[in-house]
Structure 1
Amino acid sequence: MADDQSLKILQLLQANPHLSQREASDALGLSLGKTNYIINALIDKGLVKINNFKNNKNKSAYVYLLTPQGIEEKARLTLQFYEIKKREYEALKLEVEKLNDPQLKANI
């Protein structure tokens, strides 16, 4: 579950580095505190770096950038997510085939 949320945040921040944590939490359906916790964990792991604009009138304007390690982790998590969904699809496909098998229907 945490990997799933980390992947979603990495994808979101890569697509929109200027996104605020509040906007990210709204987009992901997570609490602001949970979003903050995950982003800070990603920063602590060196997967995301944060820059703020000191000359900006809005002092809370930040940019979240994926580090090279963050990009690698996003790719790893994406592949892991794909493999899980592929296994789920294959299991469902097999179940549907069993339900559509005339011999099995006769035994029901």
Structure 2
Amino acid sequence: MAGVLKKIDPDVHFRVLHLLEEEPSLTQRELAEKLGISLGGVNYCLKSLIDIGHIKAENFKKNPDKSIYLYLLTPKGIAEKAHLTSGFLKRKMAEYHALKKEIDSIQSKSKGA
């Protein structure tokens, strides 16, 4: 199982769990659009997350289209999302600080020109 998880980008993993927690009825196509990744990538990610127990897929019982699913976070998935949130925020803060430093450097050089 852990081998599967290593192949999922941690930012994508976090974002999938975050989106599904907010909107469990999102389709794979909608997820792909929101994440900016391919439909095949979303399908692979969802299958992997189901395999490792972070989400479960359930059919809408009253919908005649049985291909419509709810993707629900499991308790293990909720715990993993909390863990991933911390790493996601640290990476984004590091990116922010690096960009801010670069912008400040460019601005100071352009003022001197």
TM range, smaller chain = 0.7 to 0.9
> Quick check: which has more Rg, 1 or 2?
1
Structure 2 gaps, min length 5: 1-7
1:64 aligns with 2:71: yes
In structure 1, what is the equivalent of residue 34 of structure 2? 27
Q: Superposed, which structure 2 residues align to 1:3-22 within 5 Å? A: 3-22=10-29
Distance (whole Å) between structure 2 residues aligned to residue 20 and residue 93 of structure 1:
36
Q: Does 1:51 align with 2:64?
A: no
Aligned sequence identity (%): 48
For residues 25-67 of structure 1, the C-alpha deviation after alignment (integer angstroms, 9 at most, x for no partner) is 1121111100000011111110001111344211112110001
1:58/1:4 CA distance change after superposition, 3 Å: same
Check 1:92–1:19 CA distance in 2 against 1; reply closer, same or farther (3 A cut): closer
TM-score normalised by L of structure 1: 0.79
**Within 2, Cα distance between the matches of 1:19 and 1:78?**
21
Runs (5+) with no aligned partner, structure 1: none
CA-based RMSD of the aligned residues comes to 2.4
- After superposing on structure 2, the runs of 4+ consecutive aligned residues of structure 1 that deviate more than 2 Å are 53-56, 85-97
**Residue 37 of structure 1: SS of its match in structure 2?**
helix
Q: What TM-score comes out, normalization by structure 2 length?
A: 0.76
